[in-house]
Chain A
């Protein structure tokens, strides 16, 4: 019989994956257990103080936090709706978190998240959120207008679009092959859309920092566009001259457009966009169908951005 020396043990051989992936939280948890203070295990959720905002959706009923944080599209953490809430919390969000901003700008910068969050008072904004899959929720987000950040770098006259990129770590996230779309995830806006006051640079929801599955630590929320435009976990912003590549529009251009403004008259080729299912409402929370509004009901504020444009053609 051949006796071979066992190869060196790896972390993964002796430690359950949840623990070594979250070793810092595990250590934190052990420390907390040692100490007298009974710290919650999820030490990552921190309270955020925010002022009320002028940008609030009428008298909409808030969707429950359970639904907002338990039913997500975040393909890096799985393509099922409940996968992200199961997998994303195991991801240790890099700290410090930085966003590098460059391209056609006068002053390219790499900014620390803590510094970014001090640029302006945090506001709580209650927005309707409409997914391209014809479901919708109402979320109390926390953040401030993206324009506050973008003004820091002084875009040049060449800049016409803004491209965004999601953090990607293949060790804890799906591969592009598994998810079917390219990673790192990319999204983009026209400059005037990015500078619009409704476009929110978002750090939290329901009074706390963002849970990982909702795009921690920083994301966009563009309430008049389908949800996939509201890119999560941003670590790169680039000002560019031409319309940038964006994930879904690049993957299936006949199904998802660059603009992707909520539009009940322009159906997705495989399903209708005339209606949407408001999650959590109705008998046993089965969801209530309601008509979808043009620009998700934000037409008064944003329709002028598209005057003269054929929104069926530029979907």
Chain B
């Protein structure tokens, strides 16, 4: 297993697999099958995959420990960046196709609609993490500080789930499922942190460093 995990081909295959949802979307577009409300469909589709990739990212560390496969860490950054990419696409669809880049309409939505405020906060929170995802940035910040910064992702994931939960009309099954998975992933971290005799990481300063 660890041999497969450490192969560079595995990473390439995972990269291609992560593009499958996007490919599916493009295929549906060519088949003219984006439902009667294409903007809504694409928005929901990309939003869904943002949360899914974020949950996959957060599952890497627990799985690494439980399966005793340290090699898994190699894929964490890629999963995180895919989550951010689908999220950026989600934002672009909303701003360009839905709001037609009208700053007034966008601002009004952000201020007035709670689910947009929350979603925007989550995506903004992920931006510094995407930027500092390179090895160079880990070095520049020092691992401890880098790790601290990247704990923002827990908050972003929670905001993502809340964002979804706020916007459904009444069928909360999917947001609840995502919320339950996230709760398990975070609880696992909490238990590990307590076992180490340290308090679970709580608030993380929004700005870290120089």
Q: Are B36 and A270 in contact (CB under 8 A)?
A: no
A interface footprint on B166-190 (CB within 8 Å = 1, 0 otherwise): 1101111100000000000000000
Q: Are A70 and B36 in contact (CB under 8 A)?
A: yes
A227-255 interface (Cβ within 8 A of B):
251-252
Chain A residues, Cβ within 8 Å of B36: 66-67, 70-71, 81, 279-280, 285
Q: Are B170 and A75 in contact (CB under 8 A)?
A: yes
Chain B residues, Cβ within 8 Å of A181: 170
Say whether A284 faces chain B, with CB atoms less than 8 Å apart: yes
Q: Are A277 and B167 in contact (CB under 8 A)?
A: no
Chain A residues, Cβ within 8 Å of B22: none
Chain A residues, Cβ within 8 Å of B39: 277, 286-287
Interface size of A by CB at 8 A reads 27
Say whether A87 faces chain B, with CB atoms less than 8 Å apart: no
A27-80 interface (Cβ within 8 A of B):
66-67, 70-71, 75, 79
Say whether B37 faces chain A, with CB atoms less than 8 Å apart: yes
Q: Are A79 and B171 in contact (CB under 8 A)?
A: yes
Q: In the complex where A67-B36, A71-B35, A284-B38 touch, is A270 in contact with B170 (Cβ < 8 A)?
A: no
Instruction: For A68, give the chain B residue with the smallest CB separation.
Output: B36
Q: Are A286 and B171 in contact (CB under 8 A)?
A: no
Q: How far is the CB of B24 from chain A (nearest CB, A)?
A: 15
Q: How far is the CB of A137 from chain B (nearest CB, A)?
A: 8
Sort chain B's interface into a size bin. Answer: 20 to 34
Chain A residues, Cβ within 8 Å of B40: 81, 135
B166 contact from A67, A180, A270, Cβ within 8 A:
A270
A82 contact from B35, B112, B173, Cβ within 8 A:
B35
Q: How far is the CB of A209 from chain B (nearest CB, A)?
A: 21
A266-314 interface (Cβ within 8 A of B):
267, 270-272, 277, 279-280, 284-287
Chain A residues, Cβ within 8 Å of B194: none
A interface footprint on B21-45 (CB within 8 Å = 1, 0 otherwise): 0000000000000011111100000
Q: How far is the CB of B120 from chain A (nearest CB, A)?
A: 14
B170 contact from A67, A179, A280, Cβ within 8 A:
A179
B34-60 interface (Cβ within 8 A of A):
35-40
Q: Are B171 and A180 in contact (CB under 8 A)?
A: yes
Q: How far is the CB of A62 from chain B (nearest CB, A)?
A: 14
CA distance A252 to B171 in the complex (A): 13
Q: How far is the CB of B140 from chain A (nearest CB, A)?
A: 41
A145-183 interface (Cβ within 8 A of B):
178-181
Say whether B64 faces chain A, with CB atoms less than 8 Å apart: no
Q: How far is the CB of A108 from chain B (nearest CB, A)?
A: 33
A-B contact pairs, 12 of them (CB 8 A): A135-B37, A135-B40, A180-B171, A180-B172, A251-B170, A267-B112, A270-B114, A270-B166, A271-B113, A272-B108, A284-B38, A285-B38
